[in-house]
């Protein structure tokens, strides 16, 4: 029942303050009256100040909800403020608005119903309040809410309170619904059974003594309720049995109070013992759930153990009630809802139950795409209408999913369902429109693999179900416009034409793409594929033409490959020479340092050192150390060399007092527990990387490599971990997406050279199907490289800062005798040097 403390004092909140000096204070002396007047005025000012603050708070929350209508906590705070202020009209609107987006908790439904009951002044309001209770008990299982609902109907429904036949039938149906919903609740279900029995006992009292037949029926009805409850494993079963025996004694059926089962039918005794054993098996799980201090994670784990036990017992009704208890306590646990809906799909398969549970699941966990996919499939299984399926699909695509492929999965699930039901008379335009919407929304953000999947399926259905070959070709042509440098796009387009026997069109596609640059060995692969195609399908003239076209292209590719290999070999030789000169220079420098010289002489013989420039237009550079790597492929530069060279550079700046060098001396790491992350989106920062590895934990330091001049990210980073366990977990995240781009993660091991890294399979060029793949030999300049600068080639260039690696054309022979640097060679001179070697 509703108490005065539970009802907001809306009338008091809106009532004016009483005037001072009125009523009982009229006979007070003047001073006392004046004092009372001042006190009343002060209280009135305080009330007005509090009311003004509440109003400002309400206005701020209204503004916040206009900007973020899906903010759950703001909705809750807004309702609480309105309830405190007593603004019932706004409060109703606020509750309805929140319930449009989210289910309300049982407590919120109780408060809503009690507020409406306190304001109801006519019988017409009974139906509205009854609907509120009905809505509340359908969202979550709550024994308390059911009890409030039953008590309200029993007290306020005229037909029930007057015990009319219609009222008795209505009340008993409501009790049976309550028993079905929560009568198997192990710890609280007995409260519903007790309320049901009390109602029937009250009916028994109203039956007059002369109506023996009706009285006997009512007695048997109560006895049956006792028997039903005693067969259910519930808490306090012993007290229920004692109550039953006492009730039987009141009906004139004497029994021995000292005997547990005296006067109890044998079938009830056996069922009671079985139920008691079942309760004892579950008591351990119930005790674990009753731990008030347990975290949500611990409670979820306990519920999952309990559910596994119940499912093994094989009683679907008990499993369903336990799932309802679980989702009521943990409403945003997606795993619980997925397990619940999957169990219903496998076991109960009742359309009304499935609709209800899936609807509540997707309202509680809107971001779980798997629930939406299962929802669509379940509706299709129970033969739901196209209108219902379309409505659920439209709700799904308006949600916020963590990743783009999840949206793709929802779209494809919709397409699959339409395809399966196309024989029922559905228009193919529905499938085409779904594909068009998916392509428009997702194409810019999909990876190559997902994009190929979407477009290949679309083209296939256009050809097979839509019977529109032009539309199928249009799908592939649009894909080529966006991803024409991806080999698989052409391969699948050609495969479709060959499958349909359109050899001329397939040949035309080969002619269009054989000269294109593809990642990896794709350029060679497409040439060989054309030759095989003509061998299997073409005439001799077609074959000869293909060979004529392909042969120069293959020679060009082979020459390019040879040139790249020659560059790598030349860089290796230059690196070896540079290392040898570096050692001799270091020994000479050490000897000179041991000699005592005047400070002025030292400064004269050791001129200031400057960083190595990458300018190739003949500018002169000076360096006090020749040990820096000279134009080598940086894949052969270990991090120790890079860091040592960087240290020399910083020391040089410190010695010369270079005011432009404000960078601190870098920290050095041994990389004993470090991963190297590459292919990072250039917009990502250290916080993004920290969030990326937050699910595994253990990250102790993150070093994002940046360009020395532009200070922009180079898409590379080193991440240190506290131990090998976290390191191994980090390596498993290889090829996962960070800001929509797949990153490569490898163990950082500076003790290994290039060959060992290549043997380990790390830092290889991306294949044609990978995101961000770039065709080899591309002449397009990389972003961030100034025009005219010589670009250091090689797949591991990322290991060395640009200030350390000398530009192409630099050799140790260009070192001047005094330790200075000679002029840089031009690109043409350097190419001649490579040919001579």
Backbone φ/ψ region at 28: left (φ over 0), alpha (ψ -120 to 50), beta: beta
Backbone φ/ψ region at 540: left (φ over 0), alpha (ψ -120 to 50), beta: alpha
- Model confidence pLDDT, tens digit, residues 698-720: 899 999 998 877 788 889 999 99
Give me the chain's average pLDDT, please: 79
Instruction: Give mean pLDDT, residues 539-564.
Output: 93
Given a cut of 80, is residue 802 above it in pLDDT?
no
CA dihedral 54, 57, 59, 61 (to 10 degrees): -140
CA-based nearest residue to 380, from 334, 349, 406: 349
CA-based nearest residue to 337, from 313, 371, 312, 310: 371
Task: Tell me the pairing of strands 737-738 and 741-742.
Answer: antiparallel
Higher pLDDT, 760 or 587: 587
Q: Is 703 helix (H, G, I), strand (E, B) or coil?
A: strand
Least confident window among 95-99, 223-227, 370-374, 663-667: 663-667
Query: Which pTM value belongs to this model?
Result: 0.64
- Model confidence pLDDT, tens digit, residues 240-249: 999 999 999 9
Least confident window among 187-196, 198-207, 724-733, 756-765: 756-765
What pLDDT is recorded for position 452?
94
Higher pLDDT, 437 or 125: 437
* Cβ atoms of residues 322 and 353 within 8 Å: no
Pull the structure tokens for residue 585.
Answer: 């220079």
- Model confidence pLDDT, tens digit, residues 123-162: 778 999 999 999 999 999 999 999 999 999 999 999 999 9
Task: Tell me the pairing of strands 674-678 and 744-747.
Answer: antiparallel
Neighbour count for residue 445 (Cβ, 10 Å): 14
User: Cα–Cα distance between 350 and 263 in angstroms, integer?
Assistant: 41
User: Cα–Cα distance between 546 and 462 in angstroms, integer?
Assistant: 31
Instruction: Give mean pLDDT, residues 327-339.
Output: 96
Higher pLDDT, 99 or 753: 99
* Cβ atoms of residues 787 and 779 within 8 Å: no
Give me the domains of the chain, ranges plus CATH numbers: 52-289 (1.25.40.10), 674-747 (3.30.70.330)
What pLDDT is recorded for position 44?
59
């Amino acid at each position: 029942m509703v108490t005065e403390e539970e009802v907001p004092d809306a009338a008091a909140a809106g009532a004016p303050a009483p005037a001072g000096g009125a009523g009982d204070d009229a006979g007070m002396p003047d001073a006392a009256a004046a004092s009372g007047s001042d006190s009343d005025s002060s209280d009135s000012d305080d009330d007005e100040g509090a009311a003004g603050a509440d109003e400002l708070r309400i206005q701020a929350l209204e503004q916040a909800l206009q900007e973020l209508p899906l903010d759950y906590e703001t909705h809750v705070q807004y309702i609480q403020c309105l309830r405190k202020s007593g603004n019932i009209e706004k409060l109703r609107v606020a509750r309805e608005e929140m319930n449009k987006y989210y289910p309300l908790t049982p407590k919120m439904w109780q408060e809503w119903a009690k507020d409406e009951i306190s304001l109801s002044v006519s019988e017409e309001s009974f139906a509205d309040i009854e609907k509120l209770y009905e809505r509340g008990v359908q969202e979550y299982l709550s024994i308390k809410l059911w009890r409030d609902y039953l008590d309200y109907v029993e007290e306020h429904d005229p037909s029930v309170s007057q015990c009319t036949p219609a009222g008795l039938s209505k009340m008993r149906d409501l009790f049976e619904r309550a028993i079905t919903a929560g009568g198997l609740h192990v710890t609280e279900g007995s409260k519903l059974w007790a309320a049901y029995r009390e109602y029937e006992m009250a009916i028994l009292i109203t039956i007059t003594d002369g109506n023996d037949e009706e009285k006997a029926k009512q007695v048997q009805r109560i006895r049956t309720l006792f028997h039903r409850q005693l067969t259910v494993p519930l808490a306090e079963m012993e007290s229920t049995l004692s109550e039953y025996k006492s009730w039987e004694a009141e009906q004139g059926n004497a029994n021995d109070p000292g005997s547990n089962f005296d006067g109890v039918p044998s079938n009830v005794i056996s069922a009671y013992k079985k139920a008691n054993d079942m309760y004892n098996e579950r008591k351990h799980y119930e005790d674990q759930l009753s731990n008030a201090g347990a975290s949500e994670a611990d409670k979820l784990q306990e519920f999952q153990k309990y559910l596994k036990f119940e499912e093994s017992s094989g009683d679907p009704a008990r499993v369903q009630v336990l799932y309802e208890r679980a989702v009521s306590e943990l409403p945003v646990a997606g795993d619980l809802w997925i397990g619940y809906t999957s169990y219903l799909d496998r076991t109960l398969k009742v359309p009304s139950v499935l609709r209800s549970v899936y609807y509540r699941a997707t309202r509680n966990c809107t971001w779980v795409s798997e629930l939406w996919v299962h929802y669509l499939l379940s509706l299709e299984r129970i033969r739901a209408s196209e209108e219902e399926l379309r409505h659920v699909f439209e709700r799904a695509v308006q949600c916020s999913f963590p990743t783009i492929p999840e949206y793709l999965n929802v779209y494809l699930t919709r397409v699959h369902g339409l395809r399966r039901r196309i024989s029922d008379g559905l228009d193919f335009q529905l499938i085409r429109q779904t594909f068009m919407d998916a392509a428009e929304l997702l194409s810019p953000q999909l990876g190559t693999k997902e994009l190929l999947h979407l477009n290949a399926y679309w083209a296939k259905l256009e050809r097979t179900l839509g019977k529109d070959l032009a539309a199928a070709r249009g799908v592939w042509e649009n894909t080529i416009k966006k991803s024409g440098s991806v080999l698989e796009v052409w391969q699948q387009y050609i495969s479709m034409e060959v499958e349909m026997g359109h050899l001329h069109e397939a040949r035309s596609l080969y002619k269009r793409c054989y000269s294109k640059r593809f990642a990896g060995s794709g350029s060679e692969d497409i040439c060989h594929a054309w030759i095989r195609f003509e061998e299997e399908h073409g005439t001799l003239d077609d074959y000869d033409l293909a060979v004529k076209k392909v042969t120069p292209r293959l020679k060009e590719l082979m020459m390019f490959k040879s040139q790249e290999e020659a560059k790598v070999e030349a860089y290796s030789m230059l690196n070896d020479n540079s290392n040898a000169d570096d050692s001799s220079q270091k020994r000479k420098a050490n000897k000179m340092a041991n000699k005592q010289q005047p400070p002025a002489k030292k400064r004269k013989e050791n001129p200031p050192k400057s960083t190595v420039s990458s300018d190739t237009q003949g500018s002169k550079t000076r360096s006090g150390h020749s040990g820096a790597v000279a134009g080598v492929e940086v894949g052969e530069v270990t991090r120790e060399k890079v860091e040592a060279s960087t240290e020399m550079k910083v020391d040089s700046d410190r010695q010369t007092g270079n005011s432009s060098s404000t960078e601190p001396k870098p920290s050095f790491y041994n990389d004993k527990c470090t991963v190297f992350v590459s292919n990072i989106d250039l917009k990502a920062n250290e916080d993004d990387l920290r969030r990326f590895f937050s699910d595994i934990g253990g990250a102790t330091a993150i070093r994002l490599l940046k360009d020395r001049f532009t200070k922009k990210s180079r898409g590379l980073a080193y991440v240190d971990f506290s131990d090998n366990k976290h390191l191994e977990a980090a390596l498993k995240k290889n090829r996962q997406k960070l800001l929509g781009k797949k990153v490569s993660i490898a163990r950082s091991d500076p003790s290994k050279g290039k060959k060992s890294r290549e043997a380990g399979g790390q830092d290889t060029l991306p294949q044609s199907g990978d995101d961000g793949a770039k065709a080899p030999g591309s002449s397009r300049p990389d972003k961030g490289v100034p025009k005219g600068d010589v670009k250091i080639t090689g797949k591991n260039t990322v290991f060395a800062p640009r200030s350390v690696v000398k530009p192409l054309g630099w050799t140790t022979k260009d070192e001047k005798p005094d330790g200075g640097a000679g002029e840089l060679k031009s690109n043409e001179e350097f190419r001649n040097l490579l040919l001579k070697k």
